[in-house]
Amino acid sequence: MGLCFSDKLRMNRESPPPDVVRVFLEYTEGGNHMTAEQLCRFLVQVQGETEVLVSDAEKIIERITNERHHITKFLRHSLNLDDFFSFLFSDDLNHPVVSKVHQDMASPLSHYFIYTSHNSYLTGNQINSECSDVPLIKALKRGVRALELDLWPNSTKDGILVRHGWAWTPPVELIKCLRSIKDYAFSASAYPVILTLEDHLTPDLQAKAAEMMKEIFMDMVYFSESGDLKDFPSPEDLKYKVVISTKLPKGTLKKEKDSESDVSGKTSSEDVSADDEKVEETSEAKNEEEGTSEAKEEKDGGSDKESSKMDLLTYSRMILIPSGNARNGLKEALTFDNGGIRRLSLREQNFKKATEMYGTQVIEFTQKNLLRIYPKATRVTSSNYKPFSGWMYGAQMVAFNMQGYGRALWMMHGMFRSNGGCGYVKKPDFMMNRGPDGEVFDPKAKLPIKTTLRVKVYMGKGWDSGFQRACFNTWSSPNFYTRVGITGVSGDRVMKKTKKEENTWEPFWDEEFEFQLTVPELALLRVEVHDYNMPEKDDFSGQTCLPVAELRQGIRSVPLYDRKGERLVAVTLLMRFQFA
């Protein structure tokens, strides 16, 4: 009973941190209430919100006083200290990152990191989990812009299924996936959805797929006016459009050399871009490196040949982004230039080899073309690799298993909180530019410190209502501590942590950390809260990942998320961000 009673005493710590009290007194000039004019000055001078007006401050006061006191704007025009503290803890009024699309969206697609999903239809592991349209819907609602569908003939060869090839994944019909994509494509973002198709279809079924997409997407699907684009359209050009990316089908008017089977135009039966180990025979590897074996069924042509050619031409015109592989070697794939645009796909281990051997060429390739990286076949549990390995070299499409929960996916979520969560993040200028002697960005180079980020962790609250008590020790309140750090280029990576706050549901740390950054444009701020639980493993208690370049200075409310990246209701930290 004593333990339970002492825990209750530690349940509510409502007093604001000393910094909050100090800034309140400073801007109220020692008074008990903060007016709209005083709040506006605080927002400009402390929070760095240079475009805020007194009218904006009045709206904040109206909302806070109405929520806390049910007082209308006609009765009260100011905040007391507790009201001000409540405002600072408000997720939607005082969020930690820029919440609007604010980057230039008129550059070619190759200038952006694109929120990309791998095997987007799988509900679980890569071997026997169900294929469904539900993961597609979830991804689109989260802001994912590039989805992958593996297209296979059904058993009677007259219909199209989506499934993971050479596995035991129960399939879903293509038409169901396309309808769900249409319904949710622009629920979170107006910018284009890219469908990367792993095509194992006969020409007749390719034509059928094209007809399905035309019928379902109608004017949403993008048709290329010219098959010889010299540069990609921009996200702005492609707003509310569905863009198709796959290998060009055989039998179109385009030359065979442009097809997925070989970006260099040569033919080969070997994959010399693979690691020295044997290539894993996954469906994706087979498609990316061997072409479509089913295409040989063209021999059944007959009197429908002319109609089939026209249907294939329609299918071909849908493909804005032709895809390719490194069949004739990594170097040739990265340096070959036919004057057009393309997408190159590499497994994660092949990409690692490419960066080790041809790092400069990788950067140069991504300045004009799209580079997609996908997980190696041994990740059967749908785990993920470290996304920064791709982003540091300009890879736009770092394809992730969105059901593979863990720190790697948290980083992916964090990166794409940038730019209003629209799914397209503009690459820093230094990744797109060349020096006077043609030199490009080298992520392995030792660089000078560009800025210093100071992060202060004041306190947290919400675990008593937003977390199941069963997640923590049954007999006592949690002993929370926070891990704070940076992930990015190798020279910027570091993790630090606060002291433990013992036996309280509302921990108060009031600790500051300093991070010296060489490439802040690519850095993410990692925040994790854990419950110290010796001798057992510490309990996970929430996390978030925030793009450093998008942090809003000042005292901010920082919402936390669970392992899957879903918002933990009411669980929030109060933090301060300053750049020097």
Show which residues are catalytic: 118, 164
Q: By the 8 A CB rule, do 321 and 245 touch? A: yes
Q: By the 8 A CB rule, do 523 and 517 touch? A: yes
Alpha helices in 199-304 (DSSP H): 203-217, 283-290
CA distance 198 to 287: 6
Q: By the 8 A CB rule, do 344 and 334 touch? A: yes
- Give the number of other Cβ atoms within 10 Å of residue 406's Cβ: 13
Q: By the 8 A CB rule, do 242 and 178 touch? A: no
Q: With the C-alpha atoms ordered 467, 472, 477, 480, is the resulting torsion angle positive or negative?
A: negative
Tell which residue, 344, 408, 392, has the closest CA to residue 372. 344
Q: By the 8 A CB rule, do 160 and 207 touch? A: no
CA distance 121 to 401: 10
Tell which residue, 234, 246, 182, has the closest CA to residue 212. 182
CA distance 154 to 175: 13
In this structure, what DSSP letter does residue 551 have?
B
Q: By the 8 A CB rule, do 250 and 257 touch? A: no
Q: By the 8 A CB rule, do 42 and 35 touch? A: no
Q: With the C-alpha atoms ordered 392, 396, 402, 404, is the resulting torsion angle positive or negative?
A: negative
CA distance 514 to 354: 34
Residue with tokens 């996200």: 235
- Give the number of other Cβ atoms within 10 Å of residue 295's Cβ: 17
Beta strands in 253-296 (DSSP E): none
Assign residue 302 a region (left: φ > 0; alpha: ψ between -120 and 50; beta: otherwise).
left
